[in-house]
Structure 1
Amino acid sequence: MANKHFHITLGPVQGFVAQARRTRDFWAGSFLLSWLSGIAMNAIKKQNGDIKFPIPARGYLEWLEGEGTGEPPEQGAIPNRFTAIITKVPADFKPEVVEAAIRAAWQALAETVWKQDLQALDIDLTETRKIWERQIEGFWEISWCLSDEETASNLLDRRKNWRTWHPPVEPGVKCMMMDGWQELSGAERPGRAGQGERAFWKALRKKVGKVDLRQGEELCAIAFVKRRFPHVFPRLQVTMPDNWVAYGWRVPVNVPSVGYLAAAHWLADTIRSAETPEHWDQIWGLHDALSGFEASNSRHAEIPRCVRDAAGRDPEKQQWERMDGQYLFDFILQTKAQQEPDSQQEVDDAQQCLRKVQAITKTRPSPFYAILRMDGDSLGSQMSDLKNKKQKPISQALNAFTEKVPDIVSENSGFLVYAGGDDVLALLPMEDAMNCALALRNEYADSFRQHGKGIATSTLSGAIEYCHIKSPLMQGLSDSHTLLDDIAKDYCGRDSLAIRVWKPGGKHLEWSCPWDKAVQGDKLVIDKLTDDICQTLQQEKQDINGFAWGFFHKAEQLFSTLGLEQENDLLVEAEAVISLLKSMYLQTGFEAKNQTDASLLAEQLIEQCKRYYRITEDEKPKVELRKGLSADALKLVRFLVTKGQDKEGQRL
């Protein structure tokens, strides 16, 4: 009997992954969705199915069966949606067994969380259990189809259009993390100010701890499983419908918060700059003052490399790896005092200690971090070319790239949320985002040169969102999708980088450029300009904020006065604008010896202000130039030079 071809998809992706209150929630959603996809893949293989694309990350399925070696996977590494384009399954293949395996794994994980965290609570759980079962059983939408034709690529999409799945009706007060789902206490209406915390959530917070459930957080069953699954995953064992056993493994209990990532370089500089016993007395005084503010005894999954390098092997310095970095910011401490008046004295003590430590480096941590999202360009069209059998070399190239991604992100002090196929999502200190994006782009190209035989040049587009730590994480994650798809890929023409900066008052700037116009040597031009300006200011002992506010503010006014941003032919030659920028730069107080540097800086700034984009003619890409200049390149360099701590960046 002839083989068939099996297609399956699991969702809702956005409803599960993107709805998050913390970094760890988003990581958990990505990890669990990848894990469930792995369950499906293994269930296919158990029925002698042959999966050609995507090929699971090396060793991943072995961990699912409790036979993994080396370090266990800490990030999602399997695309959440996989269509088995050339996957063959036997004629007696049973698709319903694959679906049953996914549901069995999810429900077993949820039940393990229930038994550990809720079952022993000394309160009436009758209504909570009803909510739990309804939400856990009714969440996932699984669509699949079998086809005799290998090329029936649209069959799965047609199947999904039937829409036989509908989420359950949810009454009562809704979850704070996941829109539309009822929170677990079963309350019929929101609490009123001054009434205090509900007895259910007070008891549950006492059971699981304030690190995992902050005061005021009210979650649905799905969100609670995302928040708490790391504590039970290592001992998970699930017998599947076709009698194989799926295992969990050790995963991080904590991941770096956006506050920790934003403060990472400042913390590392502080540790390195402490030269006297008095300095260390001040640092440990701050450590002690902050140790009661939701600190944890568990290390983060990935300590930013800059902090690891600064701490070295000193066990005392390594204690900073367990701190919640958000409390290194004055405004976060002030907010805590407002929300918890009883903590006012502790907050006052911490702020006093923080000011002493800030005096060591005479700086404050940047309140901005970076979201980096990257995605391959036009791989779908090549994957659909069955005649040339491109799936295997594409899979090999993507797996080679995926294996390198964790090290690249780690080297740049970041936290990798997800890496599967040509899709990467990471959170980083703002200082490292550009370098990381370029390194990933170069590694992607190298992987296809080495493994993608017969594949047309494959490129990687990127999007960087610089976000304030007080802005909602979900907002930045959602916007990064738009930035990547609409700006880097569509507006700029793919093989490009797009950047947005969000300040407390809203969107501050948007800049984009094809990679080959944005890169010079082994560094992004914008990144190099930032480093050169900071180094010169340090040598000249000039105030960074004063220079940035003076030079860049005047340069932006020049663009406005001369109408340089209007999309028409420039009335002023670029050389004249360069000369004006050079004069402004030197007028800030630099010596005449910097004339050459000033000319080069002005030229490079104007080059990055040009509106480049890519088009394809006769199947060959080429870079074109739109009319007018963009002052957003000036704003971006100013933002990076000041690390977001100029006058506008301090308005909260």
Structure 2
Amino acid sequence: MTKAVLIFTFSPVQSFIAEARRSEDLFNGSAILSRLAQAAGKAIQTAGELIYPAQLQENDTPNVLVARVSQEQAPEIAQKARQALLKEWQEIAEKARAEAYLEEDDLWKRIWKRQVVEAPPWQIFWAVAPETENYAQAYEAARDMLERAKRSRLFDQSEEEGEKDSLSGARTALRTQKYATARKYWEAMSRKPHILSSQVRPEGRELLDSIALVKRFWEVGDREFPSTSTVAAWDFYLEAQKKAQDELSRYRQALEKLPLYRARKQDAVFPYDGDLFFEETLTRQRMKDSYNVEKVDEAALQQVRGTLKSLIQKTRKSPSPYYMLIQFDGDGVGAKIDHLLENKEKAEANHRCFSENIARFSNQVRKVVKPEAGGFLIYNGGDDVLFLASREKGLELARKLAEEYQNTVGKDLGILATASAGVVIAHHLTPLARALSLLHEAEKSAKLGKKDDLGNKGMVCVTLAKRGGEALSALSPWEHVAQVAEWVQAFQNDEVAAVFPYLLARETAMLQDLKQEVKTSILQYLFNRHTGEKVSKDRKDALLGTLTEWHKAIKEKTGVSAMGEIARWLIIARFLASGGAE
């Protein structure tokens, strides 16, 4: 019996996750991908041996599977994996359909059948190559065939007519013949007593197709994923539990007098959404828009607002309107596998070790990105991680992941393995689609620039997307990101004037063609001029030293205008120091 290497994968991944209005859409979309991959992996394991991933983990399985199988059985194994994936998809979809419990008729069912059964969103690819010489040769041949198959993309087009859904803008929105338009249908569905306004926007402002319905109503076990508002207010919430428990309890009691749904029923302390920590939510218009509550007594709202103000005063901290969205990705994974396969005798052992190291890192991710640390994990697919984090904790969590990745993935293989990341600091009311678009651009920026022979970069790009104005991005090697916290502290303590980074940015833009020595002199001049008189010389030297080293590292790793990057990093640090205040 001839051994062979089978590579199985499916798509889309990024677009499926990115079609989201709520953070829970992101989480459910990611969990669905993992469940589908896990179903395919289990089917492969019945007659083959998985090499990557090293272990199938619920909600953490990547969409690429590599296995050693019998060449004779390979087509049958691949077909079983395909069937298992599609069966899992059907079960997930039907469960969501039952949970939604919407009005259906023949038209509705035809749309559903076309989008879910006849033309599901999944494109499934597989390739197999025999081990005629060795494992490395078989893997490389299978990978090359798979890439050719993916480029061909031979799949049937489906007809999508009529009003399109709100998330993709490409598929027909669900509706019945009873309603003249999809908008009228979803306006009626949003008024159903069991449909929360967080699930379907009222007044026909959101149209769902079958795929969006699955992500919106499928429940991942008993886990509740927080909204962007909850994540933004998380630092305040944790502080309130420490310093103002009685006031927090009184605020909860005040909210219970209003007809509001409990978005976080599993939280025994405060089961409501974090947007209720923001005073601007406590208006009659927002009660209607966000909670579908038509009539609220203004006097009752005023009393609730007063209770919230007391909570904020007692906590001595205001809730931040900003949170972080972070996409973390291993650098040059393909290049590293190619390098490990060069030793033909140890090719399979090296690939297994690499897979096991990725699995170890994946296990560590959940220990780093957790609510008590300010992080909320969305997707954990080996070297690919997506999560939300609070404004105060996000950068440090990302830096810890980068450190953990470097310490784990190349271990026992004699190689350096780094990861890069895109980070977006976004307002909790900014449309999630915009934040995700900016995140994609930030991750792409982090991947640009110089790299070594194994594709290592080790960079992070942070984009500050204030609610008004253009987004601002800054690029840096990981080892200097820890200095952001030091500069945040310097601005908070008024050691450095708030205007300093903006003046530095202006001067850098005006004098970009000057020699580096001149730019350094300008930096030192501006820094000394805008440093507080009470700041010691040692402290000044330390702060200025961080800028000098930081500038040098950025210049060496990117080749871009490093002074401009420094100015933008300081603007971000100054923004973080302000608590996210506009």
Give a deviation string over 1:583-639, Cα, whole Å, max 9, x none: 3221xxx53x63432343244345545671456xxxxxxx86756544212211111
Match of 2:447 in 1: 489
CA distance in 2, matches of 1:412, 1:464: 17
Cα 1:268–1:111 change in 2 (3 A) is closer
Q: CA deviation at 1:8?
A: 2.2
* Pairing 1:219–2:208 present: yes
Q: CA deviation at 1:296?
A: 3.4
Q: What amino acid maps onto 1:51 in structure 2? A: L
Q: CA deviation at 1:13?
A: 1.7
* Pairing 1:511–2:474 present: yes
* Pairing 1:474–2:410 present: no
Give a deviation string over 1:14-39, Cα, whole Å, max 9, x none: 33211111111101111111110111
Give a deviation string over 1:354-385, Cα, whole Å, max 9, x none: 23322324542111100111111112112124
Among candidates 407, 420, 435, match of residue 461 of structure 1: 420
Q: CA deviation at 1:197?
A: 6.2
Match of 2:172 in 1: 182
Q: Secondary structure at the match of 2:538?
A: helix
Q: CA deviation at 1:213?
A: 3.5
CA distance in 2, matches of 1:324, 1:462: 28
Match of 1:12 in 2: 12
Q: Secondary structure at the match of 1:180?
A: coil
Match of 2:454 in 1: none
8 Å Cα contact 2:509-2:564 kept in structure 1: no
Cα 1:14–1:166 change in 2 (3 A) is farther
Q: Any residues of structure 2 matched to 1:309-388 within 5 Å, and which? A: 318-320=268-270, 322-334=271-283, 336-337=286-287, 339=289, 342-343=295-296, 345=298, 347-385=301-339, 386-388=341-343
Q: CA deviation at 1:459?
A: 0.9
* Pairing 1:643–2:579 present: yes
Q: What amino acid maps onto 2:115 in structure 1? A: Q
Q: Any residues of structure 2 matched to 1:198-347 within 5 Å, and which? A: 198-202=187-191, 205-215=192-202, 216=204, 217-230=206-219, 250-252=221-223, 254-274=224-244, 279=247, 282-288=250-256, 292-296=259-263, 298-299=265-266, 318-320=268-270, 322-334=271-283, 336-337=286-287, 339=289, 342-343=295-296, 345=298, 347=301
CA distance in 1, matches of 2:402, 2:264: 36
Give a deviation string over 1:406-437, Cα, whole Å, max 9, x none: 11011521101111221111100010011111
CA distance in 1, matches of 2:369, 2:70: 37
Match of 1:525 in 2: 483
Cα 1:272–1:251 change in 2 (3 A) is closer
CA distance in 2, matches of 1:608, 1:497: 13
Q: CA deviation at 1:147?
A: 2.9
Match of 2:51 in 1: 52
* Pairing 1:430–2:363 present: no
Give a deviation string over 1:62-90, Cα, whole Å, max 9, x none: xxxxxxxxxxx4xx3111233x2x63334
Q: What amino acid maps onto 1:398 in structure 2? A: I
Q: What amino acid maps onto 1:182 in structure 2? A: T
8 Å Cα contact 2:189-2:195 kept in structure 1: no
Q: Secondary structure at the match of 1:35?
A: helix
Q: What amino acid maps onto 1:101 in structure 2? A: A
**Percent of counterpart pairs with the same letter?**
23
8 Å Cα contact 2:244-2:311 kept in structure 1: no
Cα 1:580–1:557 change in 2 (3 A) is closer
Q: What amino acid maps onto 2:286 in structure 1? A: K
Match of 1:173 in 2: 163
Q: CA deviation at 1:167?
A: 4.5
Q: Secondary structure at the match of 2:448?
A: helix
Among candidates 115, 126, 129, match of residue 135 of structure 1: 115
Cα 1:610–1:476 change in 2 (3 A) is farther
* Pairing 1:581–2:542 present: no
Q: Which moved more, 1:345-354 or 1:399-408?
A: 345-354
8 Å Cα contact 1:172-1:188 kept in structure 2: no
Q: Secondary structure at the match of 1:427?
A: strand
* Pairing 1:600–2:542 present: yes
Q: Secondary structure at the match of 2:69?
A: coil
Q: Which moved more, 1:357-366 or 1:467-476?
A: 357-366
CA distance in 2, matches of 1:359, 1:558: 36
Match of 1:67 in 2: none
Match of 2:362 in 1: 402
Q: Secondary structure at the match of 1:560?
A: helix
CA distance in 2, matches of 1:197, 1:392: 50
CA distance in 1, matches of 2:109, 2:562: 62
CA distance in 2, matches of 1:560, 1:41: 54
Q: CA deviation at 1:391?
A: 0.9
Cα 1:326–1:280 change in 2 (3 A) is closer
Give a deviation string over 1:392-416, Cα, whole Å, max 9, x none: 1211111111101011011521101
Q: Which moved more, 1:15-24 or 1:398-407?
A: 15-24
Q: CA deviation at 1:560?
A: 2.2
* Pairing 1:633–2:575 present: no
Match of 1:162 in 2: 152
Q: CA deviation at 1:145?
A: 3.0
CA distance in 1, matches of 2:356, 2:171: 40
Q: CA deviation at 1:272?
A: 2.6
* Pairing 1:126–2:106 present: yes
Q: CA deviation at 1:641?
A: 0.5
CA distance in 1, matches of 2:186, 2:214: 21
Q: What amino acid maps onto 1:110 in structure 2? A: A
8 Å Cα contact 2:97-2:213 kept in structure 1: no
Q: Secondary structure at the match of 2:169?
A: coil
CA distance in 1, matches of 2:61, 2:261: 33
Cα 1:357–1:53 change in 2 (3 A) is same
Q: Secondary structure at the match of 1:161?
A: helix
CA distance in 1, matches of 2:473, 2:165: 33
Match of 1:145 in 2: 127
Cα 1:172–1:77 change in 2 (3 A) is same
Cα 1:144–1:196 change in 2 (3 A) is closer
Match of 2:79 in 1: 96
Q: What amino acid maps onto 2:329 in structure 1? A: D
8 Å Cα contact 1:170-1:181 kept in structure 2: yes
CA distance in 1, matches of 2:555, 2:335: 21
CA distance in 2, matches of 1:471, 1:97: 43
CA distance in 1, matches of 2:508, 2:51: 58
CA distance in 1, matches of 2:332, 2:304: 52
Cα 1:564–1:269 change in 2 (3 A) is farther
8 Å Cα contact 2:186-2:207 kept in structure 1: no
Among candidates 67, 77, 97, match of residue 60 of structure 2: 77
Q: Which moved more, 1:326-335 or 1:465-474?
A: 326-335
CA distance in 1, matches of 2:43, 2:212: 26
Structure 1: gaps of 5 or more residues: 61-72, 234-249, 301-317, 538-546, 616-622
Cα 1:526–1:454 change in 2 (3 A) is same
Q: CA deviation at 1:209?
A: 4.1
Q: Which moved more, 1:561-570 or 1:258-267?
A: 561-570
CA distance in 2, matches of 1:145, 1:562: 52
8 Å Cα contact 1:171-1:188 kept in structure 2: no
Q: What amino acid maps onto 1:50 in structure 2? A: E
Cα 1:199–1:464 change in 2 (3 A) is closer
Report the aligned-residue RMSD.
2.9
Q: What amino acid maps onto 1:364 in structure 2? A: S
Q: Which moved more, 1:498-507 or 1:394-403?
A: 498-507
Q: What amino acid maps onto 1:424 in structure 2? A: V
8 Å Cα contact 1:605-1:634 kept in structure 2: no
Q: Secondary structure at the match of 1:256?
A: coil
Structure 2: gaps of 5 or more residues: 131-137, 452-456
Q: Secondary structure at the match of 1:416?
A: strand
